[in-house]
């Protein structure tokens, strides 16, 4: 598998070097983007979603057909609160899966964001106050009672007048104050949050955007590649998601959603509003694209502004 991938990458790199980048629009006809359209769509994403920004990347890996300061898009520290497989278990197998694209070999893109399974609502696992071993208190005490340690009397406390107070040089009695004492809850009740840096590059060979994932555990340590697959839809993990070198960064391996089907899927999505007389505008491409990518990484909560108007009525 690794040998096959290396041969493919060599072939793809050779084709990219000898082929000029797309400059003519084929957005509506094929679902692809030209380089100027990718930059236009990226500018709109950054303007509408400030969590995204353009990056220059490493100078040694700069693509000459892209502006030096707009090599790729990135959003950092994106939370991933749950593993993808736990979400998929909440959807019915029959009612929740929609094949977005299929070919003769049956290799299609499968959307897992369908109708939620009709499971009985389970009580949320929230620790009760009883499990926290909180020190008991008999209610709110008056200020003097905290220092005297004695019973609170119904009568008014006999507080000495400062004029009659004689300094004997002795310290006040060091009585233990009464306060709440709580122990840390069990580890099962602590939410361990993974985070991801999500980047979007322009793939010259496929003429579409391409998503890359860099994962970190709750201690901000890089995730091993096999752990990243836990946060990817199991219908796509190890099938349409691969571990490769980032085209603009030097360090480490990154998970990537392979773009071989992106254009076909985007064309099908674009055809839906067009059938209703609405022509999607090219600068909204990345919003549509990121909504589609959410079916692959359903628990990585990046921003793609779902309420954006996709186009105008023709």
- What is the Cα–Cα distance from 271 to 291, expressed in whole angstroms? 15
Look up 80 and say whether it is catalytic: no
Question: Is the residue at 72 inside a domain?
Answer: yes
With CA atoms as reference, report the closest residue to 82 among 304, 300, 302, 303: 300
CB 197 within 8 A of CB 74: yes
Q: What is the dihedral of CA 51, 272, 311, 22, to 10 degrees?
A: 70
Question: Is the residue at 230 inside a domain?
Answer: yes
With CA atoms as reference, report the closest residue to 32 among 206, 281, 278: 206
Domain boundaries, position 240: 1-96+192-296
Helix axes 262-275, 285-293, angle to 10 degrees: 120
pLDDT digits (tens, 9 = 90+) for 86-140: 777 666 444 555 444 445 554 444 444 444 444 444 444 444 434 434 444 444 4
Total number of domains constituting the chain? 1
Is the sign of the CA dihedral 112, 113, 118, 121 positive or negative? Answer: positive
Q: Name residue 313's beta-bridge partners.
A: 278
Question: Is the residue at 108 inside a domain?
Answer: no
- What is the Cα–Cα distance from 314 to 311, expressed in whole angstroms? 9
Question: Is the residue at 146 inside a domain?
Answer: no
Q: pLDDT tens digits for the chain (314 residues)? A: 567 666 766 766 676 776 778 888 999 999 999 999 999 999 999 999 999 999 999 999 999 999 999 999 999 999 998 888 777 766 644 455 544 444 555 444 444 444 444 444 444 444 443 443 444 444 444 434 444 444 444 455 555 555 554 555 555 444 444 444 445 455 555 556 899 999 999 999 999 999 999 999 989 899 987 889 999 988 887 788 888 899 999 878 899 999 999 999 999 999 999 999 999 999 999 999 999 999 899 999 998 765 566 666 55
Query: Hey, is 120 helix, strand or coil?
Result: coil
134, 181, 260, 272: which is the annotated catalytic residue?
260
Question: Is the residue at 18 inside a domain?
Answer: yes
- What is the Cα–Cα distance from 286 to 304, expressed in whole angstroms? 8
C-alpha distances in Å from residue 79, one per residue of 105, 148, 196, 241, 306: 35, 50, 7, 20, 18
Question: Is the residue at 269 inside a domain?
Answer: yes
- What is the Cα–Cα distance from 139 to 228, expressed in whole angstroms? 50
**And the tokens for 144?**
């003097």
Question: Is the residue at 102 inside a domain?
Answer: no
C-alpha distances in Å from residue 103, one per residue of 108, 113, 223, 244, 256: 6, 21, 33, 25, 22
Question: Is the residue at 58 inside a domain?
Answer: yes
Radius of gyration of the chain (CA): 29
With CA atoms as reference, report the closest residue to 35 among 8, 60, 70: 70
């Amino acid at each position: 598998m690794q040998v096959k991938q290396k041969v493919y990458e060599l072939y793809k790199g050779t084709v990219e070097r000898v082929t000029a980048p797309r400059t003519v629009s084929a957005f509506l006809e094929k679902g692809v983007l030209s380089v100027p359209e990718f930059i236009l769509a990226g500018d709109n994403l950054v303007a509408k979603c400030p969590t995204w920004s353009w990056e220059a990347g490493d100078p040694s890996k700069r693509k000459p057909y892209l502006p030096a300061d707009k090599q790729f898009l990135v959003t950092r520290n994106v939370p991933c609160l749950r593993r993808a497989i736990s979400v998929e278990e909440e959807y019915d197998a029959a009612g929740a899966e929609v094949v977005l694209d299929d070919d003769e070999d049956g290799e299609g893109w499968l959307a897992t964001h369908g109708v939620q399974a009709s499971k009985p609502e389970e009580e949320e696992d929230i620790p009760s106050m009883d499990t926290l071993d909180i020190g008991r208190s008999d209610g709110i005490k008056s200020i003097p009672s905290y220092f005297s340690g004695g019973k609170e009397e119904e009568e008014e406390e006999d507080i000495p007048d400062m004029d009659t107070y004689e300094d004997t040089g002795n310290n006040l009695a060091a009585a233990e104050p009464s306060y709440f004492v709580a122990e840390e809850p069990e580890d099962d009740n602590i939410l361990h949050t993974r985070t991801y840096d999500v980047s979007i590059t322009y793939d010259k060979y496929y003429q579409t955007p391409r998503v890359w994932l860099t994962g970190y555990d709750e201690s901000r340590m890089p995730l091993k590649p096999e752990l990243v697959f836990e946060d990817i839809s199991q219908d796509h993990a190890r099938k349409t998601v691969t571990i490769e070198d980032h085209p603009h960064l030097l360090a480490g391996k990154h998970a990537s959603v392979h773009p071989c089907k992106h254009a076909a899927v985007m064309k099908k999505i674009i055809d839906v509003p067009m059938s209703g007389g609405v022509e999607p505008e090219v600068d909204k491409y990345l919003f549509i694209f990121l909504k589609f990518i959410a079916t692959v990484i359903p628990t990585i909560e990046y921003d793609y502004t779902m309420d954006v108007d996709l186009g105008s009525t023709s």
